[in-house]
Amino acid sequence: MNILIILAESVSKASIVPPPPTFPTGAQISSFLYTFGASIVVVFILYILLFHLLRSFLRRTEKDTALFILGILRIPAIAIFILASLKLSLTQLGSGGIINLIDRGLTACLILGFTYGTTLLFTEAAVYYLKDYARKTEAVWDDVLIPLLQNFIPVITYLIGISLFFSTIGVDLTGIGLAIGSITVVLGLAVKDILSDFFSGLVLLVDTPFRFGDVISMPDGSIAIIKHIGIRVTKLYLINEHCEVYTPNTTLGGQNIVNLSRPTTHYAYTIKVSVRVDADAVVATNILQQIIVGHPDTLGELDEKLQHLDSFAALREAQGDKLSKKEAGRLRLLIEKDVNSYLQKIEQAFEDFIKEIKKLEKGGLNSEELKIIQKNYIEILNLVGLVVITERQGKRLRSHLEEEPTDKATLISLIRQWYKTWLKDPDLVIEDQHLLPDEWEHKIELMKIKLNKLFQKISNPGVDETRLDDYSLKFVEWLHDNFKESNTAWKEPQVQLTDIQGSSMQFSVRFYVDNIQLEHWRRGNRVQNEIRREMVRRLRQAYIYTLG
């Protein structure tokens, strides 16, 4: 009986012995080679079509987006094409055994190829064009969000790709997932401060109290520049100390942030000065007023500034091929007068335009009334320097605004002439040669976008036909508040007699510096110093200066 049992067990074990491996037949190998060869030919043809013929065609187009994408995807695409050809050809060898292992390996490699290509497409192409888009918008959140996406998306993409890779080749990730979950809980408790900084960074992203390059005042009174908002810390540049400081996002988000760059880069300074008590207060006030107005880098009525500019002695003289401060300032102020004049014309034209819309929109707009509004709007666009371009797209005609290539004076051409003249200022530093044009080209681009949107509303108002005046008024407010003020009456210098003590009268002089971001953010300090020196000189010259 025992012998029978042993024999039965032997037969049972023999029955579950795996069959010997089967090898592809000659016909299967020939079919594999034929399919792989045909696939390689197809891959070669696709390569020629995509990366040579299509590339040559795309070079003739104005935009380089598709050309750039083709360039960065060249190597990943070749790898994916070859792997896909091998996987397709492998089906000719049947299935089972080593064939299945090779098939899973090729699938895993394809996943890695797609992961690498997707990451490359995002980091090299998508981020580049997103940054370009962010520069053309007023929103601050996109300036902060894009760098965060640039850091996070590749990590997430690679984690997903690597997980799929191991799953495809048969590695069980259940145990690893449980281990990672346990480790995550422990690490979460250990790095709760880091997580707090991370979420504080997200809050800063949502609230957007500043953008990169903004000048802020720290709680201790020091002045800093926003350089980078990271996952955990924000990098600041301290101007006076010429060093970088890394502030945890939790700390930065929990304190009052004074942004000196908003709503404009104009910043007010106050200087205290003493005058002899027996001096004529009116004469002293006039001298101080002329000093402030006469400096080319303060805000004030432009005709008065040009009148008193020559009497300001404490300015940089001409050196080498550089203009003197007075000459550079005079040229800039003269062109700024033209800019302000055009801004006032455009603002007045919009006021008349809005009145016309309000008169016509009662009861809705008919086709004739709409043509009148469109005609008046195009006249305003001519002052700005934009023209209507109509192109056929399929069966429909599409119209949009473009800059007018002309030599006549327009707002856009005067703005460019103005900032190019400003670049001749001998006090500017090298980085200002990029900062100033970037600032104003960004504003010009925003203005064009807003005018284009308003043009589309006016061309096809639809349900908004009774709100065209509101849209126009909103643009005028933006033009005055965020583009450039046509007049700065409330920012003109103020001289006040604040106190009389013993043998002196105390005066307070308040003035605005035009752009504190220039000269490596030291422009305000230089202007203050030059004005103080001029005050001492002029008041001594009038024999009324006292140390107080």
* 4 has pLDDT over 50: no
Q: According to the CATH classification, is domain 267-300+491-541 in 3.30.70.100?
A: yes
Residues 6+ apart with CB under 8 A from 72: 120, 121, 124, 125
The pLDDT, as a whole number, for residue 207 is 57
Average pLDDT over residues 82-92: 81
Q: Summarize pLDDT for 232-243 with one digit per residue, the tens.
A: 777 888 887 888
Lowest mean pLDDT among 138-142, 154-158, 297-301, 533-537: 138-142
Highest mean pLDDT among 118-127, 134-143, 419-428: 419-428
The pLDDT, as a whole number, for residue 7 is 44
C-alpha 236/C-alpha 252 separation (Å) is 11
* 354 has pLDDT over 90: yes
The pLDDT, as a whole number, for residue 172 is 67
Of the two residues 406 and 496, the one the predictor is more confident about is: 496
Lowest mean pLDDT among 115-119, 377-381, 495-499: 115-119
Look at the chain and count its residues. 548
* 191 has pLDDT over 60: no
CB burial readout 220-250, b (16+ within 10 A) else e: eeebbbbeebbebbbbbbebeeeeeeebbbb
* 507 has pLDDT over 80: yes
Residue 216 β-bridge partners: 224, 259
* 516 has pLDDT over 70: yes
Cis upstream peptide for 20 (omega within 30°) = no
**CA 480 to each of CA 198, 336, 376: distance values in angstroms, whole numbers, following the listed order:** 37, 15, 20
C-alpha 32/C-alpha 482 separation (Å) is 67
Lowest mean pLDDT among 106-110, 333-337, 492-496: 106-110
* 477 has pLDDT over 80: yes
What band does 255 get if pLDDT is binned at 50, 70 and 90?
confident
pTM, to two decimals: 0.71
Lowest mean pLDDT among 109-113, 350-354, 421-425: 109-113
Greatest extent of the chain over all pairs of C-alpha atoms, in Å? 137
CB 142 within 8 A of CB 133: yes
What is the percentage of the chain residues whose pLDDT exceeds 90? Answer: 36
CB 28 within 8 A of CB 94: yes
What angle (nearest 5°) sits at the alpha carbon of residue 249, between those of residues 248 and 255? 100
What is the percentage of the chain residues whose pLDDT exceeds 70? Answer: 81
The pLDDT, as a whole number, for residue 209 is 65
As a dihedral over the C-alpha atoms of residue 469, residue 471, residue 475, residue 476, rounded to 10 degrees, the angle is 20
Highest mean pLDDT among 22-36, 86-100, 181-195, 368-382: 368-382
Q: Which CATH architecture has domain 192-259?
A: Roll (2.30)
The pLDDT, as a whole number, for residue 261 is 80
The pLDDT, as a whole number, for residue 19 is 52
The pLDDT, as a whole number, for residue 68 is 73
C-alpha 507/C-alpha 493 separation (Å) is 13
The pLDDT, as a whole number, for residue 63 is 65
* 332 has pLDDT over 70: yes
Q: Residue 324: which H helix or E strand, with range?
A: none
Average pLDDT over residues 455-463: 87
Average pLDDT over residues 39-43: 82
Q: Summarize pLDDT for 379-432 with one digit per residue, the tens.
A: 999 999 999 988 876 667 788 889 988 788 999 999 999 999 999 999 999 999
Average pLDDT over residues 525-546: 94
Q: How many CA atoms lie within 13 A of 498 on its CB side?
A: 12
Average pLDDT over residues 100-122: 83
Lowest mean pLDDT among 59-68, 115-124, 469-478: 59-68
Lowest mean pLDDT among 261-265, 290-294, 321-325, 337-341: 261-265
C-alpha 212/C-alpha 145 separation (Å) is 12
* 461 has pLDDT over 90: no
Q: How many CA atoms lie within 13 A of 529 on its CB side?
A: 7
The pLDDT, as a whole number, for residue 208 is 61
* 23 has pLDDT over 80: no
